[in-house]
Each structure stands twice: as structure tokens, then as C-alpha cells.
Amino acid sequence: MNILLFTDDHLLTDILRIALGGTYQVRWATTERRLFTTLASTQAGAVVLDAHCGDAADLCSRLRAFSDAALIAIARTDTADERVRLLRAGADEALKRSFELAELVARLQAKLRRSAIARPRESQFSAAKIV
């Protein structure tokens, strides 16, 4: 399963790659163009959006219109107002800037688990002629 990170924070990227890399294939985008290009070319199950990159609410809206991938936004500040704004714009989750890594990983896993349940599975049975 692919997870796409959108941030220009190299430290955050390194931390998340280490935390998630054993279970997920982690891709990284630093520009909106690269974000949408990568999202179109991979089947990302989730996007982690660092709200420090541009107009995060607008980006959440455009991402939601473009993809059904789980969208977790890391707010620019620790205020509830900003998290509510990101949620209303289309984020599935919005974390405070001073988030706990274990919480982010757990929320990602829950969203990916839920999307796997909602996604129809291919049948394990095949049609056969019965005589």
C-alpha cells in the first residue's frame, strides 16, 4: 500500500519514512504538481498533508475532488479552529502540529483498514460449468 507525503520538511519526511516504511511504500512530494502527478500514477491509500505547504484548506478540497485516498492533514498550529477548517475542507483527520508519531501511525492504519473493508474484494471463486 502506498502512502504519499506532501511536505517540504525533510525531518518530518525522514521520521515518517522510518515509522511507516516497514509496512507501507512511502512516497514524497514537495510541490502540488508532483503531489497530483504522483497521486494519479500510484494507487495511494492515504495522503499525509503538511499544512505548512500552501493553502491547506484549498488543497484538501482539491485532493478530495481528485482522489478517494484517506487524507490526514497536519495542522499549521495547535488551534482547534484550523483543524476544523481542514476537516470541513475534506480532510478525514486533522492533527495538531505537535502530534504524537504513534497517533499518526495509528490513524493511518485505521483509515487504511477501513478503506480495505469498504473496497469490494475480487471473488475467490470462478464460474465453472456444472454437469
- In angstroms, the CA 116 to CA 130 distance is 33
Instruction: Provide the 8-state DSSP code for 78.
Output: S
pLDDT value of residue 91: 95
Which stretch of DSSP H or E encloses residue 113? helix 101-118
- The per-residue pLDDT for range 24-42, each reduced to its tens digit, is 899 999 999 999 999 999 8
pLDDT at 119 over 60: no
Residue that wins the pLDDT comparison between 126 and 117: 117
CATH class entry, domain 2-118: alpha beta
- In angstroms, the CA 17 to CA 21 distance is 5
Among candidates 95, 44, 86, 88, which has minimal Cα distance to 66? 44
Non-local (6+) Cβ contacts of 106 within 8 A are none
Q: In what order do the strands lie in the sheet with 44-50?
A: 25-29, 2-6, 44-50, 70-74, 93-95
Non-local (6+) Cβ contacts of 84 within 8 A are 94
Instruction: Provide the 8-state DSSP code for 52.
Output: T
- The per-residue pLDDT for range 70-81, each reduced to its tens digit, is 999 999 888 999
**Residue-averaged pLDDT of the chain:** 85
For residue 75, how many other CB atoms are within 10 A of its CB?
26
